[in-house]
Every structure is written in structure tokens, then in C-alpha cells.
């Protein structure tokens, strides 16, 4: 199956209309540390993280499990306030969650009691559109992810991949300037994941919004990202910022290109070192 | 090329090969067949229920007509035939309908009040820890008090007899609804609340679009239980009443030592209670359609 049939890429007329609505956001993470106080004392999840993301960039946060990459993403979303340092989007301090930053979670977080269409229409409704306008927009975004036929289904009737596509459509329907994704394809099987990755790139190239994508999968990070930020084992620090100069649009053939393999080797080396550290931490 | 053995079997057995080639008759419309099977299954289950009741009624008739006195004493107990005669007689008198109508009205008012207050206060308790801490002590102390114990206070504190009866019936329905709402609201998945926030929802929208729907299965279960307990408490409430109500009717029959009337009254309360509980289930079912068939007992 090609990308076109999985997520129908809009025609040029549509995409121009979409682009007018979306401007990528500039993300500035300045010396952010995040601590949680738990039963075993204070746990430092993120340590002195600083990061600049240009508007329209696709950045992957790569790190071993439990390194605090999701916590850092949650601070971008406004779910978690940094203990010190600041997170800014377009020069504005992030204090609360808001519709300018769309979030796609690891496990689908669709409202089970709303149909697929109502789920996608939720954001526009909250933005003050009336029901008719919201549902109209929901239909357009469902069409974009190729799920028009399922608009009246409830989430539990869909496969895992379809649920995540609805989740992406729902996040995009607010025209967010930044799309935050927390291992969104982690629970999918390998084939579906590969499809979803290509589809996501196709969508991103249409929207041009900034994407911050958290993953622990090196292939995924290098295939998707224009930049791969590698995080250390807990407490999470940003230890490498690797540019991925592979041309776009990318297709699966790139996975065997020598440049891809070279970057992957670098990432794997870093990740292996950190994973060993993380392993020693939890088992030592 | 070696062929897998399973495929070779066909060539030895022509009947098997034929059955594979052509679909079995009736297989073309599996939907209809499945529906028929389900219907027969359901019919069978209802037949079983009817048979169960029939056996009970026959046993009752035999026990009372023979005046069995072994642990339980059936000597003074009217049999089902006698009870039926009294019931048929009562159906011809319009005072019986007034009794039923009064009770239904009290149940309706009390249940509505209990639903509004139970879900409202329960949602606030589940959402805000302060409210929970403030209200829980009262709930813990008041909940175990049986409806009958409230009669003196209800008479003392409420302006009319009718309002005292409704109050006591309300108490019965209120607590199960309140407690189920608190539990349901407390189990709202955190992820869904975060998702709603990141889509621009405020507190009110989250309550309406996320918290309440998520608590709905628990709330509807509470409503069904509450309806049952409301009927249970109605009798206590109608002991106050000097005039009408099916509970009053039963209580009155007891004072006049009219045994068949007592049983008619009891069965009426049971029947109306079951009916109204079923109605609550029916009314709330469309709200739970989103659960699909993933919920419920496995076949």
C-alpha cells in the first residue's frame, strides 16, 4: 500500500488552504530541570536541558526507557512545570496545556464515549466553533488520515493504528503550531508502524508545523527526524544533537542508505552506553 | 515440489474436496442464522425463568393447602389462588389504583431528587478533595441508618406528611447513587483529562465531556440500585401516611390481619420495583452504547 491510500495526501488546493492556517512554532527550552518528590525522596527526571527548535523542524527525542524524555515533552505540553529553567514557545512561557500545542499520546487517549468524528471535532468545539463547523472540520481531517468511512464508529471498534490516526487528526484539527508526540507508534506492530511513519511525514510536509517526537527506537528517530536529540540515562540530560541530512521526502529505501546507517551507528553507540548505565542503575 | 500433507487429503476424499469447493447451504447468510440461534437461546432462557416461577407457585399452593408446618409454618398462609382472587377483586376497585398512583408519584419525585443531588454532590466530591473531606463524614454516619429510623425526625422536621414520605424514599435512593458517582468520577483516566486540556477544554467542559461520561457506567449502576432501595424505603415512608400508597395498603392490611392483602401488597411492591428498575436500565442503555460488547459477561 502506498502512502497515498493510507492517508490521502490533500491536493495542492487543499494543502494551500491548510498552510495558511499553520505556522510552525519556535520552541526554546532553557536550562530546564524537572524534579518529582516521591516516596524515596526527590527524583530528578530532567537535568539542565537546553534546546532550540526552529519553526517547522521535525525533532526526535531519543533515549533509553525511563530517561525522562516523556517528562521533558510533558513540560513542552504544559502538563508538568519545570522545577527550574523555562520553556517558551514563540517567545511565550508555557504555563498551562493549550490548543496551540497538539499532543498525541503513546496509548490512544480518544474519548471512548464519543464517535470518531466527535473526537476530532472536540478541539474546534472548545475553540468556540459551533457544532456544524466543528464537525465539518473533523470530516476534513478524517479525510486527511483516510478514515472518513469510520466517522460514526466508536474508538473501541478501530484497530490500534486507526486509533492513533484519529489521535493525530484530533491533535491537528486545532491547527497547532507545535505537534508533540509521545511514542505514538510504540504499541503498534512493525508493519503498521512503518506505514504510520511514512504517513506522518506526508502530513507534516503538508502542514509544516514543528514536531517534537519522543521515541526509544533508533530507526524511527533517524527515519523521521531532521534532528535527533539523544538523552542520557536518568537523570535525563541532552548528550547529543545529531543532524540528519537525508533528503526528503523519505521512503523506506532510505533505511539502507549508507548515510542513514552511519547516523544510526552513532545513535546506537550513544544509546547503548546510556542503556547500560540505566541497566546498572536499576539493577545495581 | 513436495506438497503439504493437509492439502493432499482432499484428493483421497472426494466428499471432503466437494465440501471445500462449495459453501455449505445456509452459510450464505450467517447473519440470519446467528440471529435465529440467539433468539432461540433467549427464548429458551425466558422459558426457563417462567418454569422456575411456575414451580415456585405450585409449591406455594401445595404447602399452604396442606398446611405444612415444618420449620416454616404455612397453616395460616393464603395460597396463590386465594391471593389471586383478592388481587382480581382489588383491580376492580379504583382505590387500589389511587394507592398505586400515589406510590408511583412519590417514587418519581424522590428518585429524581436523589438523581440530581446524588450525581451533583457525588461529582463534586469525586472532583474536589475539599468537598470530599467535608461531606464524607456525614455520608459515613448517615448512610447505615435504616429508613424506618428516620420516621420520627421526618415527621418532626418536614412541613407535610407527603414531604416526609418523599424524604424517606429519597434517602433510600440517594446514597447508592451518591456513592457510585463518587467512585465513577474518581476513576476518570488521567490521560483523557490531559488530552482534553491540551485540546483547549476548561474545567466545566472537562466535567461535562470527560468526567461525567467516564463515570456513567458506575452512575447508571447506582441508579438501578437506588431505584430498588427507593421502593424498599417507600414502605417505611408510607407507614406515616394515614391514607394512600401501596406501602400504606400493605401496612394497613397487616394491622387488619388481612393476609391475602398483605401478600398482594408485597408482590405489588416487588413487581413495581422490578419494573421501574428495568425502566431505569432501559433509559440509560443508549447512553452506554459506546461501550460496545467488550463489556459484560463472556458468552
How far does Cα A14 stand from its chain's mean position? 23
**Quick count: other Cβ atoms within 10 Å of Cβ A63?**
29
> Residue A268: exposed, middle, or buried by beta-carbon count in 10 A (0-12, 13-18, 19+)?
middle
pLDDT tens, position by position, B200-222 = 999 999 999 999 999 999 999 99
Residues A224 and A278 in one domain: yes
DSSP B210: I
Q: Specify if A105 maps to a domain.
A: no
Partner B contacted by A147 (CB < 8 A): no
Instruction: Report the percentage of chain B scoring pLDDT > 90.
Output: 63
**Quick count: other Cβ atoms within 10 Å of Cβ B61?**
15
**Domain boundary residue, one of A126, A143, A175:** A175
Partner A contacted by B213 (CB < 8 A): yes
Whether B71 shows a pLDDT value over 90: the answer reads: no
Looking at residue A18, what is its pLDDT? 55
Close Cβ partners of A246 (under 8 Å, ≥ 6 residues apart):
A222, A254, A257, A259, A260, A263
What band does B5 get if pLDDT is binned at 50, 70 and 90? very low
Alpha helix ranges (H) inside chain B: 5-12, 14-21, 30-65, 80-91, 94-127, 129-142, 151-157, 161-186, 190-198, 203-206, 212-238, 246-255, 259-284
Looking at residue B23, what is its pLDDT? 42
Shortest CA distance from A118: residue in chain B: B209
Average pLDDT over residues B184-188: 92
Q: Do A103 and B194 touch (CB under 8 A)?
A: yes
Residues A270 and A195 in one domain: yes
Q: CA–CA separation, B145 vs B177, rounded Å? A: 16
Which domain, by its residues, includes A131?
114-175
Residues A92 and A188 in one domain: yes
At A95, list the grid cell: 504555563
Partner A contacted by B199 (CB < 8 A): yes
Residues A67 and A33 in one domain: yes
Looking at residue B298, what is its pLDDT? 55
- Cβ-based contacts of B196 with chain A (< 8 Å): 111, 122
Q: Specify if A228 maps to a domain.
A: yes
Residues A82 and A131 in one domain: no
Residues A225 and A164 in one domain: no
Residue B196, phi-psi category: left (phi > 0), alpha (psi -120 to 50), beta (remainder):
alpha
- Best of B198, B200, B203 to disrupt the A interface (most A CBs within 10 Å) is B198
pLDDT tens, position by position, B75-104 = 888 999 999 999 999 999 999 999 999 999
Q: Specify if A108 maps to a domain.
A: no
Residues A259 and A144 in one domain: no
CATH number at residue A20: 3.40.50.300
Partner A contacted by B218 (CB < 8 A): no
Q: CA–CA separation, A120 vs A170, rounded Å? A: 4
Looking at residue B6, what is its pLDDT? 37
C-alpha pair distances (Å), B183 with each of A267, B127, B138, B171, B288: 47, 10, 17, 19, 17
Q: Specify if A106 maps to a domain.
A: no
Residues A12 and A43 in one domain: yes
Residues A167 and A134 in one domain: yes
- Cβ-based contacts of A98 with chain B (< 8 Å): 198, 200
Residues A157 and A27 in one domain: no
* H-run or E-run covering B69: strand B69-70
What is the count of structural domains for chain A?
2
Q: Do B198 and A113 touch (CB under 8 A)?
A: no
What averages of pLDDT result for each successive group of 10 residues across chain A (284 residues)?
A: 42 47 84 89 90 95 88 94 94 92 91 96 95 94 93 93 95 94 92 92 91 95 96 89 92 91 94 83 66
Long-range contacts of A143-152 (CB under 8 A, 24+ apart): A143/A8, A144/A7, A144/A8, A144/A10, A144/A169, A144/A172, A144/A203, A145/A7, A145/A169, A145/A199, A145/A203, A146/A5, A146/A6, A146/A7, A146/A8, A147/A116, A150/A116, A151/A115, A151/A116, A151/A117, A152/A115, A152/A116, A152/A117
Looking at residue A282, what is its pLDDT? 72
Looking at residue A22, what is its pLDDT? 65
Nearest chain A CA: its distance from B230 CA (Å) = 29
Looking at residue A21, what is its pLDDT? 58
Of A98, A109, A157, the CB nearest to B192: A109
pLDDT tens, position by position, B124-156 = 998 889 999 999 999 999 999 988 899 899 989
Residues A190 and A89 in one domain: yes
Q: Specify if A107 maps to a domain.
A: no
Whether B175 shows a pLDDT value over 80: the answer reads: yes
- Best of B187, B190, B193, B199 to disrupt the A interface (most A CBs within 10 Å) is B199
Q: Do A126 and B205 touch (CB under 8 A)?
A: yes
- Cβ-based contacts of B216 with chain A (< 8 Å): 113
Looking at residue A55, what is its pLDDT? 94
What band does B256 get if pLDDT is binned at 50, 70 and 90? very high
Residues A183 and A224 in one domain: yes
Q: Specify if A276 maps to a domain.
A: yes
Amino acid at each position: 500500500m502506498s502512502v497515498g491510500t493510507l492517508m490521502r495526501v490533500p491536493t495542492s488546493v487543499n494543502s494551500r488552504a491548510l498552510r495558511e492556517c499553520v505556522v510552525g512554532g519556535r520552541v526554546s527550552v532553557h536550562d530546564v530541570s524537572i524534579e518529582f518528590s516521591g516516596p524515596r525522596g526527590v527524583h530528578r527526571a530532567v537535568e539542565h536541558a537546553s534546546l532550540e527548535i526552529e519553526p517547522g523542524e521535525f525533532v526526535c527525542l531519543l533515549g533509553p526507557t525511563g530517561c525522562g524524555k516523556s517528562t521533558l515533552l510533558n513540560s513542552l505540553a504544559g502538563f508538568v512545570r519545570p522545577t527550574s529553567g523555562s520553556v517558551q514557545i514563540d517567545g511565550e512561557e508555557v504555563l498551562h496545556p493549550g490548543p496551540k500545542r497538539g499532543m498525541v499520546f503513546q496509548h490512544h487517549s480518544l474519548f471512548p464515549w464519543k464517535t470518531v468524528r466527535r473526537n476530532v471535532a472536540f478541539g474546534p468545539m472548545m475553540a468556540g466553533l459551533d457544532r456544524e463547523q466543528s464537525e465539518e472540520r473533523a470530516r476534513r481531517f478524517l479525510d486527511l488520515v483516510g478514515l472518513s468511512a469510520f466517522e460514526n464508529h466508536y474508538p473501541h471498534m478501530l484497530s490500534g493504528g486507526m486509533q492513533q490516526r484519529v489521535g493525530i487528526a484530533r491533535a491537528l484539527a486545532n491547527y497547532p503550531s507545535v505537534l508533540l508526540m509521545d511514542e505514538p507508534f510504540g504499541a503498534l506492530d512493525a508493519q503498521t508502524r512503518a506505514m504510520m511513519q511514512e504517513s506522518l511525514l506526508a502530513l507534516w510536509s503538508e502542514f509544516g508545523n514543528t514536531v517534537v517526537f519522543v521515541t526509544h527506537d533508533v530507526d524511527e528517530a533517524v527515519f523521521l527526524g531532521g534532528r535527533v536529540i539523544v538523552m542520557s540515562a536518568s537523570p535525563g540530560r541532552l548528550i547529543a544533537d545529531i543532524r540528519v541530512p537525508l533528503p526528503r521526502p523519505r521512503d523506506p529505501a532510505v533505511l539502507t542508505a549508507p548515510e542513514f546507517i552511519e547516523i544510526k551507528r552513532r545513535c546506537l553507540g550513544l544509546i547503548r552506553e546510556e542503556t547500560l548505565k540505566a541497566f546498572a542503575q536499576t539493577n545495581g | 515440489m513436495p506438497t503439504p500433507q493437509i492439502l493432499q487429503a482432499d484428493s483421497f476424499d472426494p466428499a471432503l474436496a466437494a465440501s471445500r469447493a462449495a459453501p455449505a447451504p445456509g452459510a450464505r447468510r450467517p447473519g440470519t442464522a446467528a440471529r435465529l440461534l440467539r433468539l432461540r437461546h433467549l427464548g429458551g432462557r425466558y422459558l426457563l425463568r417462567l418454569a422456575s416461577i411456575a414451580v415456585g407457585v405450585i409449591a406455594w399452593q401445595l404447602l399452604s393447602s396442606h398446611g405444612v408446618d415444618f420449620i416454616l409454618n404455612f397453616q395460616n398462609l393464603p395460597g396463590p389462588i386465594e391471593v389471586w382472587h383478592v388481587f382480581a377483586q382489588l383491580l376492580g376497585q379504583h382505590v387500589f389504583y389511587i394507592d398505586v398512583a400515589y406510590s408511583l408519584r412519590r417514587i418519581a419525585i424522590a428518585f429524581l431528587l436523589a438523581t440530581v443531588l446524588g450525581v451533583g454532590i457525588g461529582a463534586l466530591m469525586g472532583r474536589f478533595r475539599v468537598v470530599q473531606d467535608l461531606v464524607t463524614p456525614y455520608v459515613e454516619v448517615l448512610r447505615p441508618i435504616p429508613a424506618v429510623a428516620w420516621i420520627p425526625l421526618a415527621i418532626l422536621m418536614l412541613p407535610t406528611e407527603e414531604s416526609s414520605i418523599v424524604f424517606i424514599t429519597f434517602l433510600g435512593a440517594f446514597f447508592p447513587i451518591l456513592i457510585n458517582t463518587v467512585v465513577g468520577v474518581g476513576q476518570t483516566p488521567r490521560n483523557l483529562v490531559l488530552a482534553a486540556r491540551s485540546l483547549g477544554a476548561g474545567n466545566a467542559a472537562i466535567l461535562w465531556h470527560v468526567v461525567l461520561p467516564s463515570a456513567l457506567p458506575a452512575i447508571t449502576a447506582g441508579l438501578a440500585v437506588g431505584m430498588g432501595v427507593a421502593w424498599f424505603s417507600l414502605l417505611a415512608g408510607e407507614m406515616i401516611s394515614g391514607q394512600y400508597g401501596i406501602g400504606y395498603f400493605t401496612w394497613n392490611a397487616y394491622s387488619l390481619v388481612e393476609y391475602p392483602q398483605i401478600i398482594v401488597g408485597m408482590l405489588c411492591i416487588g413487581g413495581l420495583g422490578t419494573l421501574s428498575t428495568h425502566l431505569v436500565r432501559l433509559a440509560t442503555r443508549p447512553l452506554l452504547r459506546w461501550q460496545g460488547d467488550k463489556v459484560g459477561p463472556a458468552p
